[in-house]
């Protein structure tokens, strides 16, 4: 039925173009989920970031080696005291409603991120005091204190610029009719069905845009996504199953693009907001016992055919900020049982284990459930739709939560919002003054060696307290038709449409 619906949707889209436009090219992208709101200030899903990449340019972007490169901004310069950042903007840029992008518009977007109720960008820009307009194409960001991750933050949604005119007119409904300065402009969205964008004729880099329309189609079932790619109903799919890699490589009509993700996959443990006051929330020893019951390499082999990278920190083992002083520990069921005994806990320990719906996620949860049972845990898996699981996490309605993070290029982006006391995505509700100090101190320093030493202290604290059990780092697996040329996979997992051609 999903295949038939997709075929009908595609046919309807083509018919709607009219006979005179049949020769137009349309790139059809299969997504693993339906994004939340298409407003860069209010959005928070990974899959939403993939969609934003098609229509919302940022001040800066990254390349394959994690270097920060210009996009809507041309350059940046930081003052000696680290409290002022001057940014030169690209001339001749227009928003998709024809309004000019200039310093006033950039100031508006940044202030909107800071002040709009419900903004998820506010903590990312928390040290920004105000924005000065220096001249029509120059802004100065005045900070409350030095903030080393700032430019890295501006390579993501915090750096996305929206049309002031459209944002003022639409208010909190802007996400229903978003207007940015990217290569494609919004046409329509049907929830749980499709998002349609068409090429923006006045895009600043229009000579590098070769496809007329981009259609995003959320298809939760990975097997169905791949089937649609093979049948020609889709041109590219994200989050291919690791177990399907061999199948894609064997198909002469398909190509595979990969990179190790910047983020992590883990289990967040409810430490400070557990209404049932279960053993996991009451004792670090119980959390350590659960950790010791898990064999990360076995998960990688059993669920992912060994294609992913086991890990125990918020950055992957190849990352320059990975702390080699804290290598992966081996599974130790005997020690796990001993820790439960030391904590005065009688097995089996019942745990409400919230798991977002998805074949791989559920498979990992089942392996964890089986492993943990041998150490004395009864992991009661509760499969939940992803958006619903986020709301439950915010409310503290869980004890363990299988949660992925797509990752950021600076280690602050993988740690601060999850580990700092009262941070917006600290679903664990964990609070530790030493960790808070380390998180804040690391933001004040740009020298990598000094920052890494600070993060080493933080790593020790987190691995002792275990508010999050970091498990593995996915390979970003993008499969696409050989008709699509010019595709490059960046380590942030996003799908960039600039430079692509469709034969």
- pLDDT tens sequence across 456-502: 999 999 999 999 999 999 999 999 999 999 999 998 999 999 999 99
Q: How far apart are CA 211 and CA 214, in angstroms?
A: 8
| Whole-number average pLDDT of the chain | 94
Mean pLDDT calculated for residue range 305-309: 93
The domains spanning 60-166 and 264-473 adopt the same CATH topology = no
Examine the pLDDT at 13 and tell me if it is beyond 60: no
Indicate whether 10 pLDDT > 60. no
| Order of strands, sheet of 400-405, starting from the edge strand that comes earlier in the sequence | 309-310, 468-473, 264-269, 400-405, 349-356, 377-384
Show the tokens assigned to 261: 């993700």
Terminal CA-to-CA distance of the chain, rounded, Å?
29
pLDDT tens sequence across 187-239: 999 999 999 999 999 999 999 999 999 999 999 999 999 999 999 999 999 99
Maximum Cα–Cα distance across the chain? 75
| pLDDT higher than 50, residue 21 | no
pLDDT, tens digit (0-9, with 9 covering 90-100), for 55-91: 999 999 999 888 999 999 999 999 999 999 999 999 9
Identify the pLDDT of residue 495. Answer: 96
- State pLDDT tens for residues 401-426: 999 998 999 999 999 999 999 998 99
454: tokens are: 């600070």
Give me the mean pLDDT over the 2-20 stretch: 46
**pLDDT for residue 6:** 54
54 within 8 A of 198, measured Cβ to Cβ: no
Please name which of 172, 168, 170, 175 lies closest in space to residue 48, comparing C-alpha atoms: 175
Q: Which residue has the higher pLDDT, 16 or 96?
A: 96
Give me the CATH code for the 60-166 domain, please.
3.90.76.10
Domain range summary for the chain, segments of one domain joined by +: 2-15+25-56+182-261+476-502, 60-166, 264-473
How much is the pTM?
Answer: 0.84
Superfamily of domain 2-15+25-56+182-261+476-502: Periplasmic binding protein-like II (3.40.190.10)
pLDDT at 66: 86
Per residue in 422-453, is it b (16+ CB within 10 Å) or e — as a string? ebebbbbbbbbeebbebbebbbebeeeeebbe
Q: What is the pLDDT of residue 452?
A: 97
Share of the chain above pLDDT 70, in %: 96
pLDDT, tens digit, for every residue of 424-459? 899 999 999 999 999 999 999 989 999 999 999 999
Q: What is the tens place of the pLDDT at every residue in 333-352? A: 999 999 999 999 998 999 99
Determine the CATH number of domain 264-473. 3.10.105.10
User: In the chain, how many H helices and how many E strands?
Assistant: 16, 21
Give me the pLDDT at residue 100, please.
Answer: 98
> What is the residue whose two structure tokens read 């349309």?
26
Closest residue by Cα to residue 157 from 45, 262, 319, 33: 45
Q: HSE, CB side, 13 Å, CA atoms: give it for residue 258.
A: 16
Tokens of 378: 């009864």
């Amino acid at each position: 039925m999903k295949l038939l619906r997709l075929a009908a949707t595609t046919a309807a889209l083509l018919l709607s173009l009219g006979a005179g436009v049949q020769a137009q090219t349309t790139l059809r992208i299969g997504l693993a989920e339906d994004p939340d709101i298409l407003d860069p200030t209010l959005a928070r899903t990974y899959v939403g970031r993939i969609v934003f990449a098609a229509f919302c340019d940022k001040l800066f972007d990254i390349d394959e080696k994690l270097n920060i490169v210009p996009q809507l901004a041309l350059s940046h310069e930081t003052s000696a005291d680290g409290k002022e950042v001057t940014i030169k903007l690209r001339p001749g840029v227009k928003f998709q409603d024809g309004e000019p992008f200039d310093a006033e518009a950039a100031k508006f977007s940044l202030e909107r991120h800071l002040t709009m109720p419900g903004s998820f960008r506010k903590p990312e820009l928390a040290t920004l005091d105000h924005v000065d307009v220096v001249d029509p194409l120059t802004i100065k960001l005045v900070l409350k204190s030095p903030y080393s991750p700032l430019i890295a933050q501006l390579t993501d949604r915090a750096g996305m610029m929206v049309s002031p005119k459209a944002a003022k007119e639409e208010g909190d409904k802007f996400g229903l009719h978003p207007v940015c300065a990217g290569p494609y402009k919004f046409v329509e969205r049907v929830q749980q069905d499709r998002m349609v964008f068409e090429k923006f004729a006045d895009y600043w880099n229009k000579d590098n845009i070769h496809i007329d329309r981009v259609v995003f189609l959320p298809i939760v079932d990975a097997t169905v996504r791949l089937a649609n790619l093979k049948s020609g109903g889709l041109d590219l799919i994200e989050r291919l199953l690791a177990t399907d890699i061999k199948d894609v490589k064997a198909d002469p009509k398909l190509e595979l693009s990969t990179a190790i993700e910047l983020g992590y996959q883990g289990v967040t443990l409810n430490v400070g907001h557990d209404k049932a006051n279960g053993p996991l929330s009451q004792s670090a020893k119980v959390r350590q016992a659960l950790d010791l019951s898990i064999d990360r390499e076995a998960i990688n082999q059993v669920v992912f055919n060994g294609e992913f990278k086991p890990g125990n920190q918020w950055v992957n083992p190849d990352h320059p900020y990975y702390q080699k002083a804290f290598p992966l520990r081996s599974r130790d069921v005997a020690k796990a049982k001993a820790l439960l005994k030391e904590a005065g806990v009688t097995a089996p320990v019942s745990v409400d284990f919230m798991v977002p719906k998805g074949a791989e996620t559920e498979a990992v949860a089942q392996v964890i459930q089986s492993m943990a049972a041998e150490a004395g845990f009864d992991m009661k898996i509760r499969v939940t739709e992803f958006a619903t699981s986020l709301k439950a996490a915010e409310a503290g309605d869980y004890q363990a939560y299988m949660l992925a993070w797509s990752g950021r290029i600076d280690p602050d982006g993988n740690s601060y919002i999850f580990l700092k006391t009262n941070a917006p995505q600290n679903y664990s509700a964990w609070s530790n003054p030493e960790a808070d100090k380390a998180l804040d101190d690391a933001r004040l320093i740009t020298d990598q060696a000094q920052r890494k030493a600070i993060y080493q202290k933080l790593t020790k604290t987190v691995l002792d307290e275990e508010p999050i059990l970091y498990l593995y780092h996915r390979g970003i697996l993008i499969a696409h038709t050989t008709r699509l040329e010019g595709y490059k996979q960046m380590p942030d997992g996003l799908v960039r449409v600039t430079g692509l051609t469709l034969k």
